[in-house]
Amino acid sequence: MMTARLFSLSLLSVLMISTAPASAAVDPAGADAVKKLVADYLDTQKNTVNADGDMTMVTKGDIIVKAAGDYYATTLPHISIQYDDGSVFEIGTITANISPGDAPNLWKMTWALPQPMTMIGANKKPEARVTFDDQALSGVWHSDINTFVQLNARYKNIVATVYDEKNAPDVTVTLPEARFGINLKQGANGNWSGPSHYTASNITVESPQEPGFVKIGKIDAIGEITDFSPAMAKDFEDKISAMSESMATGAVPSAGHVQGMYDLVLSYVGNICDSMLTKFSMHDFQVNAPAKGEEPAQKFSLQTISAAFGMKGFRSNDVSLNMSLDYDGFMAEPKLDQSETIPTESRIDITIQKVPYNELVELGRSTLKSSMESGAGAELAGLQAMMLIPQLLTNAGTSVNIKDTSFGNDLYGLKMNGDVIANMQSVLSATGKARIEVAGIDKLIAEVKKQSETATDPAVKQQMGEVLAGLTMLQMVGQQQPGTDEKGRAVRTYDIELTKEGQMLMNGTDMTTLPGLMKQP
């Protein structure tokens, strides 16, 4: 909890200075206008922080804005966040230089964060502290939409330290360098598109008891947004604020509030942009656990692990969603039990295409309204909605695509490609086909048989026996392919089909007739 709190508040301090749009003239009169705008923004930030309920943003001192050549030298008051439990996050005093940009609503900014930033506990002792050796943060702020359209930041030798109850370092996180940036461009319709990125390298997490406990070679996070509507974002913020203010603290939301929140959130998701993508990856990740008592030292590592999520097509109501997760190079020292059968690499890539977003939202709206108006009919409304969803998906041609989804190791490997399409005429409301390629199943069977024979735990032995039976049946029904794969493993293929009649076929055979396949532990 302490780490999450420290990270979120450090990010808040980075963004705090970001809204200081000024008047075009750089002169003493303009400085007064800048001072008012900064004060108004600080008030907005206070309201946002204070709304959380367990913390309060406090400022001490004055805002100082001076015309200095072609920019405004700006100094904010001392900023801190006070918690109900008595702890305080001391951010400090942020300074910035702000100058007019290339248009009346654009402002060039550079600023400096204070250090150290410290979390002080209720006992008045430090709980955590953040420091860094070097910083460079600059960007272009758009005053009409209240956000950065360009941003470049670099911090070096970041050290975050968490202290124990004796005020001694307990955990230290070190980042030699971190960078992040935004680069948005405005389209003819006034909306914005572009990428964002974050990267950090050679990260370590250590403690006096466990040196080098966690090491990460590199972290990458990238984002991409197209046709982002700032007007929609502003409207959403205003309406959320109005709805929050209209409901008494602790009160049970009325039917109107629930319906209004549903409409607001789903409208926001469907209209805020046309597409968005986020992808996170870590490289050369390792955990080193020291020996404890009779337990030997352990090491776990991954060469790469990544996850991505994307949505697109909201403007045309032809929405598709993509989700992927993959890792490779898993290794454990000493080896884990059954390590020969543990996948060292895996990939999942699933895309849902032609999602009728607007129709599903409307169905949800009417269902919610019916259930709120008649408590007794809520269950019936839900059942009716479930019956209508397959029709909506069929009319839209909704499908699920599985692409190059795989897992395995040097012993064996499995790869799958396939599509499932919504079809109201089908017994299961869908039809589909998939092709599965399994390499090295003979080697996998031999290894599982060996583990079953050497297992001493009766439950494990039984489980291994059931797995072995399923694998043996799978080997029998697979179609042997000529030659071998790049690792010298025999390959068998399995063509899976979900028919309109509701049958699941494997290479033309009803899978319910294949013992050991439809029921696995």
The pLDDT value given to residue 516: 56
Number of domains in the chain: 1
Q: Would 102 be classed as within a structural domain? A: yes
What pLDDT does 354 receive? Answer: 97
Report yes or no on 16 lying in a domain.
yes
Cβ-based neighbour number of residue 38 at 10 Å: 26
Strands 345-355, 319-328: pairing kind: antiparallel
Half-sphere exposure of 506 (CA within 13 A, CB side): 19
135: domain range?
A: 1-144
Q: What is the pLDDT of residue 248?
A: 54
CA dist 233 to 41, 51, 191, 258, 479, Å? 17, 19, 11, 20, 55
Structural domain includes residue 154: no
At position 197, the amino acid (one-letter code) is H
**Whole-prediction pTM:** 0.83
Conformational region of residue 502, where left means phi above 0, alpha means psi within -120 to 50, and beta covers everything else: left
Q: What is the pLDDT of residue 204?
A: 93
Cα–Cα distance, 457 to 451 (Å, whole number): 11
Provide the CA 127 distance to its chain's centre, in angstroms.
Answer: 28
The answer as to whether 503 is a domain residue is no
**Pick from 161, 118, 158: nearest CA to 135:** 158
- Identify how many contiguous H helices and E strands the chain contains and give both numbers: 8, 27
Q: Is position 196 within any domain?
A: no
User: Is the residue at 71 inside a domain?
Assistant: yes
Report yes or no on 70 lying in a domain.
yes
* Beta pairing partners, 347: 326, 406
- Given this model, what pLDDT does residue 515 score? 62
CA 148 to the chain's CA centroid: 21
pLDDT mean by block of 10 residues, the chain; 521 residues: 46 44 61 77 77 83 90 93 93 90 82 93 92 93 79 96 89 95 93 96 87 89 94 79 63 75 86 95 92 84 97 94 96 86 95 95 86 67 84 95 96 96 94 96 93 87 89 91 93 96 91 63 34
